Structure 1
Amino acid sequence: MNDEAVNILSQSKRRLTKLKLLADFFENVDIISIYIKTDSIHTLFLENKTLDYSKLELFHLQYTDSLIELLTKIKRQKENDMLAVINEIDVNRKYISGFEEKQSYGFETDRKMYSGNFSHHLKRLYQDLTENKFTVNWDDVLYFHKKYAAEFYRSEVDEELLKPDAFPAYHYQDYQIERKLLGRLNIQNFKVRFMCGYAISGNEYELFKIFQSEDFFIFDLEGHKMYLTDPKKMEKLNTAPNESNRRIIINQLKKKNEELEEAMYERKRTLPEQVTAVLKDYIKNLENTDIISKIFDINEETNILRAMLNLNLNN
């Protein structure tokens, strides 16, 4: 094998490498098929030293080079389009990482402590009412919603389910406590359990359950009221434990990234209709049983890929 033949085979191998990279990028069945058939032609010349190697070079000049040039142009366009999507995915991942690092693990522990603090607060309030004095500091219980409402309190709820009908009340400082509620609290020694919180249009509510009973009451933080709930309204009310809205945001961002990656993958594989048609014609030529003689006939068909390079590819 002379130096010219060695050089032609070496250049042919480089072209195959480029074509393989393009096939891997697009993951398009037609391009993969073309690569396999082109590799077969290369192998045919590699293993048959009696063939004219100049015909292999001519084949690449007429077919492979034009195809590589066309696909490289499309690849650059797609990479530019994908860059914005990749950047969006990267930003989402940074937000996800930041949110996950700041998860509020103390909420459940503080919720239990808050139940005890609120029970103690109610007991002192009752004592003050019976003794006609005002010693209770509301900051002893208002700290909880200030710390957790923005992140944990539920917003998807019908506010009408949380509002009371008119009720007779005790007045303590600027707060109203339903008389019937205070009586039932007294029966259970003011033991209560914080169930969950709600945050709707700037108004915040907290739902409590009275110990060893089926009674629930609401603390309207903005309205400065406490009152028993309507059992019929309770049937429609979501009383599940609060969850961090960070987890909701994290899940939304993860789902968004999955959708972006899937769309990007499909967009990468999709080729313009004109290109798809040319690739299929290309494959037909390569599948011709008389390929060795056919591919070296210089005619208009062999220049079809070059014409494609001037297309306005809006993929």
Structure 2
Amino acid sequence: MDDNPILRESNKIISKLQLLSAFFEDEIVYKIFLRTQVIHRLYETNPELDVNSLELFHLQFTQSVIDLLKKIKKINERNVGLFFDEIQLNTELINNIKNSDYKESEFNNDKQRQALKINTSLRRLYQVLSEDLQEYPFAKNINAFSARYAEDFFFQISANLLAELTDYVQEEVYTNAYAVIERKLMGKLCKHDFRTEFYCGLSSANLVVEVYKFIDHGMYFLFYPSRNLFLFCDISKLSDIDLTTDITRNARIIQELQDKNDRLQASAAITRISIPAEVKSLLAENYKKISNINFLQNIAGFDAQANILKTMLNTDII
């Protein structure tokens, strides 16, 4: 009987069922696999039995179970793929936020360097204006700060507000070939020893303004790089802009996305091996039938149950 083609084919079918049993890790599928092995062994060890009945059993039942489980497996894997697509998108967003945090750290460091450049430049500008020199007063690469960070860290304002902030009376400023600075602002800077810090950046289209604050004093001024213009800044005009920085916001978003990915991973693991309740119920009924001691006597009448399995393959139930 070892060379019987029906038995060889039966072994192949049982191997397929074993793989599906291992994939789904479901008790009823495993029981069906074991029971199918028992039926195969019965025909293998009892030559007097009609092996064609084994072929009929596989045709009517086992192959239908395999086809049904393979279809469920394919659907599950497609659904799991959607979970992992979302996980990938969330992971990319997490990495982008982390990169943004890294750039924010650089921004915070460069703010201090930029303030130092501005203070040094203003101190030098005061000397140039006082001594009527023709030297360029500004520190090297003073405009690089805005060029690098304006897109990500400067606050958007309207063109009208920009025009209002940078408007001045000619008689109230000092002017030379390199800069324009409000007279009273220069006086205050001298009085407070040019000790200022970067407060915020403003952007309107391609134009930018840097706002600075006197250290330990509630006064502000702006630097308009495209015109090398320094004016007092009425900070109340920026009241409609949220200038606060919620440092913990990114950390909270990252944690939420990581928690969501954990839930998606868990859902993917469950979805991957899930079998619809209706299918499990039908498989349980079929297992009872093939476990019945009189099953062999009724194997030819197994068409009704087999047809139900086949019907499930062509419905939306799974």
TM-score bucket (shorter structure): 0.5 to 0.7
Determine whether 1:123 maps to 2:120: no
Determine whether 1:170 maps to 2:173: yes
Instruction: Return the alpha-carbon distance in structure 2 between the equivalents of residues 224 and 242 of structure 1.
Output: 31
Contact kept? 1:154, 1:242, Cα under 8 Å: no
Counterpart secondary structure, 1:212: coil
Structure 1 length-normalised TM = 0.64
Contact kept? 1:204, 1:221, Cα under 8 Å: yes
- How far does the alpha carbon of each residue in 1:150-203 deviate from its partner, in whole angstroms, 9 at most, with x for none? 4x4234667877752854441434754333332222211111112333444323
Alignment of 1:116-195 (within 5 A): 116-138=116-138, 140=140, 141-150=142-151, 152-155=152-155, 164=165, 167-168=168-169, 169-172=172-175, 173=177, 175-195=179-199
Counterpart secondary structure, 2:165: coil
Paired residue for 2:60? 62
Instruction: Return the alpha-carbon distance in structure 1 between the equivalents of residues 156 and 288 of structure 2.
Output: 62
Contact kept? 1:195, 1:241, Cα under 8 Å: no
Larger radius of gyration, structure 1 or 2? Answer: 2
Determine whether 1:304 maps to 2:318: no
Contact kept? 1:196, 1:242, Cα under 8 Å: no
Paired residue for 1:230? 234
Instruction: Return the alpha-carbon distance in structure 2 between the equivalents of residues 159 and 58 of structure 1.
Output: 83
Structure 2 length-normalised TM = 0.64
Paired residue for 2:35? 41
Q: Which amino acid aligns with 2:212?
A: F
Instruction: Return the alpha-carbon distance in structure 1 between the equivalents of residues 159 and 94 of structure 2.
Output: 31
Instruction: Return the alpha-carbon distance in structure 1 between the equivalents of residues 182 and 273 of structure 2.
Output: 67
Paired residue for 2:224? 220
Distance 1:156 1:81, change over 3 A: farther
Distance 1:48 1:107, change over 3 A: same
CA RMSD of aligned residues (A): 5.3
Distance 1:65 1:120, change over 3 A: same
Q: Which amino acid aligns with 1:17?
A: Q
Counterpart secondary structure, 1:17: helix
Residue correspondences, number: 297
* Percent of aligned pairs with the same amino acid: 23
Paired residue for 1:28? none
Instruction: Return the alpha-carbon distance in structure 2 between the equivalents of residues 53 and 206 of structure 1.
Output: 93
Instruction: Return the alpha-carbon distance in structure 2 between the equivalents of residues 271 and 194 of structure 1.
Output: 58
Larger RCO, structure (CA 8 Å, separation 6 or more): 2
Runs of 5+ in structure 2 lacking a partner? none
Equivalent in 207, 228, 233 of residue 203 of structure 1: 207
